[in-house]
Amino acid sequence: MSLLAAAGRFQGQLVLTHRDYLIDLVRTPLLAAVFLLLVRHSGQPQLIAYGLVAPVLMAVWSMAMLISGEVVDSDRQLGTLELVIAAPVDFARLVVSRVWVTTTISLLTVVEVFAVSVLGFGITPEVDHPVVLVLGLLATAAATAGAAGLMAALFVATRTARTFQNTLSYPFLLLGGVFVPLDRLPAWTHPLGRLIYLSWSADLLRAALAPAPVAGAAWRICVILGLGLLAALVGRLVLGRVVRMVRETGTVGLR
């Protein structure tokens, strides 16, 4: 808990100092407006849930990827990555602790999207299943932290995290059914998509905004948490191997 608190204070100060970390809080209302405009002009109001859920999941994923990469890249540029890895604190726990803070902040986009919907379009979202919605968002946040730990392992092993940050976002969002349901994508993508927790999160959150009963809500939440936990465990294992490798080769600080 002391590590989580210390990492949380540090990351909170970093977010307030470097406003680039908050770019998604600025971008999300604009994306929400674009998605809702598309829904309005499509003449299919039943798609409103898609316009509301997509920008939120995009922001949660994007901010987690940004922080998990910047933890590595910024420390590498400052010459402190070697000290962090050499410290007795487990590096994977440090990354996940810092990502947790940012992921929590990214959930503010729910309020932003709601405000855009009400104030900009006169649409008051009807949350027919508020408990499912809240639990789905919390499960998504937990899974995101686990996925970020896995990505951090890749970032440590490469000379720059930014290349992977820029290339990994949209393929994962697309395969995760964030923009359109997974069953609307080519059949060969379905097995891959179901391995990405975002596909389960997107379906669950959209179902929580629909009047029909949510089928298998508990099961879906467990799958989201399970995939996040699996990513966290694999990330911890991989990160441990990568850290040992860069220590042995002396390539921790290479850029």
DSSP string, 119-157: IIH------S-HHHHHHHHHHHHHHHHHHHHHHHHHHHH
Greatest CA span in the chain, whole angstroms? Answer: 60
Spatial contact of 140 and 224, defined as CB atoms under 8 Å apart: yes
Structure tokens at 244: 């040992």
Residue 211: φ, ψ to 5°: -70, -25
**Which residues are CB-neighbours of 41 under 8 A, at least 6 positions away?**
none
**Residue boundaries of the structural domains of the chain:** 2-249
CA separation for the pair 194, 162 (Å, rounded): 26
| This prediction's pTM | 0.84
More confident residue, 205 or 47: 205
DSSP string, 188-205: GGHHHHHTSHHHHHHHHH
Q: For residues 129, 135, 139 and 142, what is the CA-based torsion angle, rounded to 10 degrees?
A: 140
Structure tokens at 255: 């850029």
Q: Which of 239, 241, 197 is nearest to 72 (CA)?
A: 239
Residue 185: φ, ψ to 5°: -90, 165
Strand residues in 31-143 grouped as ranges (E)? none
Q: Which of 143, 145, 114, 142 is nearest to 130 (CA)?
A: 114
151-208 pLDDT, tens digit per residue, is 777 776 666 556 666 677 788 888 888 988 888 888 888 988 899 999 999 999 999 9
Query: What length does the chain have?
Result: 255
206-232 pLDDT, tens digit per residue, is 999 988 888 889 999 999 999 999 988
Confidence check: pLDDT of 136 > 90: yes
